[in-house]
Structure 1
Amino acid sequence: MRLNFIIILLCIIQPAFAQKVIKVGAKHFNEGYILSEMMALLLEDDGFVVERKFNLGGTSVCFEALKNGEIDMYPEYSGTISAEILKENTTLTLHEIRQLLASKYHLEISEPLGFNNTYALLVKPEIAQQYQLKNISDLRKYPNLKGGFSYEFLKRQDGWAKLAAFYHLKQNPVGLEHGLAYKAIKNNQIDFTDAYSTDGEIIQEKLMLLTDDLRFFPSYHAVAFYAPQTEKAVKQSVEKLCGIINETEMQALNAQVLFEKKSFKEIARHFLIKKNLLKHAHNKSNNTWQEIVEHSFVHLQLTFFSLLLAILVAIPLGIFLYRFQSLLKPTLYLIGIMQTIPSIALLALMIPFLGIGLVPAIVALIIYAILPILRNTIVGLYSVDPQLKKVATAIGLNDYKRLVLIELPLAIPMIITGIRTAAVINVGTATLAAFIGAGGLGEFIVTGLALNNTNLILQGAIPSAILAIFLELCFELIERLLVSEHLRQKIIR
């Protein structure tokens, strides 16, 4: 009896002593991954339990996650905080940034990590020589030069729109993934692009940075950005990084990821050991196959739960609309409109309400899965032969019994087809959940895009395709079990 009491008491008090998990975020680009990995390794070296929330879509996604306590920290830049988060039109000092963050959001930043990763425009040396380009203002003379910029730079407060107005530039650039822009400029598909001054490709590809001769861009000092609940001991652990990384070192670290094909963790660990910042230098090697299996399991969870919940919503709704036909068209129009919202936009819109992770990802996937299941449920019920309905009524079946015994069984093949379609859609759409920290196979694809690494992209794309085929086979088996042979043949014809 006493032993049972002790066990129960331990179960009650254990959560109070459980170590808090520190969630470290990272924006979707190489440098963000490396810096976040350094923070995570320093925390783990000091005994903290760390959860990595990498591949977050961009500044707005990371900031909302930080503000809402979904992550505890991530690396950010002073110029970005000033222009994008605080929406200031003038360049702020670090002291002013700290004051405004504290008063508006109760957030904090560390001292600078040591380097200034400012925005820049770059061109190939041949283009610079051909058009005599040295400064950004020189672009005024050549409005026909093709520009290609990262999507974030095109929309930022300190991005292309204000830069073009400031320098009176007339070019009309296209949007590109940041990592792919370097490939495009190398292949002469574009003439100039935006860059971070510490990008590893600059030296490797021998590209030329145009001088910001009118000083449009502010300083972008790298800092650690903390959530309100972050403890002092956690900050002290991370702030070992302050002042130890210069621009040349950061550029070299970025180049190692791109051209030596090293992992972010390997590069971060080696740098910290070199700077004598790690007490424990052991390195756990990553098993690629184990990672693929783990990510596939998360991907399957996302797909399964969202599909199950969509079925529980769409089929009863389809039956209801079949019975109350006046609501049919308005409901289908509304759900159809929701279906047209781009996946990444829908995920981003949910962050202020649902945060990041599995919940907003599953909600978004439910929205995309509802329409095909709902439409097929309604079409299946309407496709039942009217003569059969009359016969059912004539033999005394009421509406409920007619629905359960006649209409739904005959509509099942069409309903299952809708569920199969929704399942395949969800397997593909779930890859975008990586942008809000939900994990899954999309993490490989997103990271591979940032690195322009085809092998990494395939690590996510191939299992995702296999998963879609697996689900197709599962539904084929379900159809064989639930649908009589003559109805299956009718569907095939």
Structure 2
Amino acid sequence: MSRLPVILLVVMLSVLNVCRLHGQAIRVGAKHFTEGYLLSEMIALILEDEGFTVERKFNLGGTMVCFSALQHDEIDIYPEYTGTLSAEILKLNRQVPLDTLKSLLEKQQLGVSGPYGFENKYALVMSRVKATSLRIENISDLRAQSLRIGVSYEFLKRQDGWENLAATYGLEQNAFGMEHGLAYSALRADKMDVTDAYSTDGEINYYDLIVLDDDLQYFPDYRAVSLYRHSLPPAAIRAVNKLVGSISETEMQSLNSEVLFGKRSYGTVAASFLARKGLIRSKRKATEGTSAADVLSKVLTHLKLTLIALVLSVLVALPLSVFVYWNERLSATVLYTAGLLQTIPSIALLAVLIPITGIGVLPAIIALFLYGLLPILRSTVTGLRTIDPALKKVAEGLGMSAAQKLRYLELPLATPAILAGIRTAAVINIGTATLAAFIGAGGLGEYIVTGLALNNYELILTGAIPAALLAIFVELAFELVQRVLIPRYMDDRQ
């Protein structure tokens, strides 16, 4: 009998623990490159193996997108590198020990795990054949060469990136930015000579590239670690710490190669590695896929983003167009402002919105809403202003008020132009919505973004083809609406 309270206490704690584990999901983020997917998937699989519910928020654009998502409680954990923490996130102008990094991040309620066991340094790479012919071994050797240098967009402006690297080494070449996943293809096609790389990239050995020696020791250490919020349950922290000291540089490079050239998904590769190492109890099924159900789910998400943003654009732009129609100066100001919004690169607008709205659906809808304003505003104002003045005078002669003229004459006659503006906004939004994947909003852009990172053209087409078909479907739908709403005598195609 004396053991009964103890047994009840153990059962109670177990039940509470199960409820906690299977309650709110732990959100795992991933940067937009092969190794980022692999490491984040490992974290997710280990957590699931321990009974936690996991929500994957992969394809997040870059370092600052991931870190901002972590700060704003949009994700709970993601893999990071000590050099990036030091130079890019904490903006330190010197390399500091891991303990110092931990202390500095503690002030932001963030924790850092021990290193996974490998280092993934930034590096400059080039073709071995070209490097040998030009006798280039070190980054310093680039000074005397006139070479085409293309680097990833993030590396171009990072604190530890190209600008400071060029200043340190005295390099006068102007580097151009490009998507990291396409850089190796450009090297192979001889479209450029030098690019930035990660030292564990599988492409380095596969394409017989040479890593230029960092002879001035510019790059800091980039040891892989887990970066997480303090709100992460202690049991979850203990679980992901299984990765500490578990992956060598050779193993990481091999894993990257398996995904890139072995035609295996990152989920399968990650699960196989963890099972082989005994870090999970059994090999788990790959989480990512391109099944018909998965494609349909992403199509519906894509359509939802586009539709919500389009409806909001119509609800704002149509009344605003009518309001400014009577005031030419105000109309010019509104159209000019909407035009300026259209010139902001979509990925930049999404990045600006993250500190305000976080990641996910909301910033994507806001961005798409803003991009949808100009076509509707311009078409509506133009449609109203190009109505034959003689018809307006007839309406005035009949004693119509301004509101009556608008309702019975101007809006009906401007309907073709209004529909054309809405139609244009819809098609623009379908294309732009693919970039929403960079901030975890989902949709068909997930395939495209992942395909770019993995250099997988089949995956890119899996997202691009349905997006194109969706645009065609929307065009046909508006064609039908136009035929229903516009009388035959007003349709110049009849």
Change (3 A) 1:284 1:194: closer
1:310 offset after TM fit, Å? 0.3
Q: 1:70 aligns with which of 51, 71, 74?
A: 74
Q: 2:395 maps to what in 1? A: 392
Where in structure 2 are the equivalents of 1:419-458 lying within 5 Å? 419-458=422-461
Q: 1:127 maps to what in 2? A: 130
Amino acid at match of 2:61: G
Q: 1:156 maps to what in 2? A: 158
Q: 1:274 maps to what in 2? A: 276
Q: Identity, % of aligned pairs?
A: 55
Change (3 A) 1:407 1:297: same
Separation in 2 of the partners of 1:440 and 1:393? 50
- 2:327 is equivalent to residue 320 of structure 1: no
1:287 offset after TM fit, Å? 5.1
Separation in 2 of the partners of 1:238 and 1:43? 7
Q: 1:236 aligns with which of 231, 235, 238?
A: 238
Separation in 2 of the partners of 1:17 and 1:200? 36
1:284 offset after TM fit, Å? 5.6
Change (3 A) 1:258 1:17: closer
Q: 1:340 maps to what in 2? A: 343
Separation in 2 of the partners of 1:223 and 1:17? 23
Deviates more, 1:169-178 or 1:451-460: 169-178
After superposition, give the CA deviation of every residue in 1:149-176 in whole Å (9 maximum; x if it has no partner). Answer: 1111111111111111111122222212
Q: 1:462 maps to what in 2? A: 465
Change (3 A) 1:55 1:287: closer
Separation in 2 of the partners of 1:386 and 1:229? 66
SS where residue 115 of structure 1 aligns?
A: coil
Are 2:21 and 2:52, in contact at CA under 8 Å, matched by a contact in 1? no
- 2:198 is equivalent to residue 196 of structure 1: yes
Q: 1:363 maps to what in 2? A: 366
Q: Which runs of 5+ in 2 are unaligned?
A: 1-18
Q: 2:105 maps to what in 1? A: 101
SS where residue 193 of structure 1 aligns?
A: strand
Separation in 2 of the partners of 1:124 and 1:18? 50
Separation in 2 of the partners of 1:307 and 1:340? 18
1:431 offset after TM fit, Å? 0.5
Q: 2:58 maps to what in 1? A: 54
Separation in 2 of the partners of 1:146 and 1:323? 54
Q: 1:19 aligns with which of 13, 18, 23?
A: 23
Separation in 2 of the partners of 1:301 and 1:287? 20
Separation in 1 of the partners of 2:224 and 2:272? 20
Are 2:268 and 2:286, in contact at CA under 8 Å, matched by a contact in 1? no
- 2:187 is equivalent to residue 185 of structure 1: yes
Q: 1:377 aligns with which of 376, 380, 388?
A: 380
Deviates more, 1:185-194 or 1:352-361: 185-194
RMSD between aligned residues:
1.6
Deviates more, 1:473-482 or 1:379-388: 379-388
Change (3 A) 1:16 1:408: farther
Give the alignment's TM-score, normalised by structure 1. Answer: 0.94
Q: 1:298 aligns with which of 296, 301, 305?
A: 301
1:392 offset after TM fit, Å? 2.1
Q: 1:219 maps to what in 2? A: 221
Deviates more, 1:341-350 or 1:205-214: 205-214
1:78 offset after TM fit, Å? 0.4
Deviates more, 1:173-182 or 1:349-358: 173-182
SS where residue 267 of structure 2 aligns?
A: helix
Are 2:113 and 2:241, in contact at CA under 8 Å, matched by a contact in 1? yes
Amino acid at match of 1:328: S
Q: 1:8 maps to what in 2? A: none
Separation in 2 of the partners of 1:333 and 1:207? 49
Are 2:83 and 2:221, in contact at CA under 8 Å, matched by a contact in 1? yes
Q: 1:11 maps to what in 2? A: none
Q: 2:411 maps to what in 1? A: 408
1:388 offset after TM fit, Å? 2.1
Separation in 2 of the partners of 1:16 and 1:249? 34
Are 2:299 and 2:444, in contact at CA under 8 Å, matched by a contact in 1? yes
- 2:47 is equivalent to residue 43 of structure 1: yes
Separation in 2 of the partners of 1:308 and 1:486? 28
1:228 offset after TM fit, Å? 3.5
Separation in 1 of the partners of 2:135 and 2:283? 50
Separation in 2 of the partners of 1:85 and 1:17? 31
1:385 offset after TM fit, Å? 2.1
Amino acid at match of 1:41: L
Q: 1:206 maps to what in 2? A: 208
SS where residue 419 of structure 1 aligns?
A: helix
Separation in 1 of the partners of 2:286 and 2:455? 25
Separation in 1 of the partners of 2:159 and 2:47? 33
After superposition, give the CA deviation of every residue in 1:63-110 in whole Å (9 maximum; x if it has no partner). Answer: 11000001111110000010000000000110111111112x221111
Change (3 A) 1:16 1:247: closer
Separation in 2 of the partners of 1:88 and 1:146? 30
Deviates more, 1:380-389 or 1:202-211: 380-389
Q: Which runs of 5+ in 1 are unaligned?
A: 1-14
Q: 2:177 maps to what in 1? A: 175
Q: 1:166 aligns with which of 158, 165, 168?
A: 168
Amino acid at match of 2:138: N
Amino acid at match of 1:222: A
1:292 offset after TM fit, Å? 1.1
Q: 1:111 maps to what in 2? A: 114
Separation in 2 of the partners of 1:380 and 1:184? 46
Are 2:451 and 2:458, in contact at CA under 8 Å, matched by a contact in 1? yes
Where in structure 2 are the equivalents of 1:85-96 lying within 5 Å? 85-96=89-100
Change (3 A) 1:192 1:326: closer
1:390 offset after TM fit, Å? 2.2
- Equivalenced residue count is 475
Separation in 2 of the partners of 1:282 and 1:67? 30
Q: 2:84 maps to what in 1? A: 80
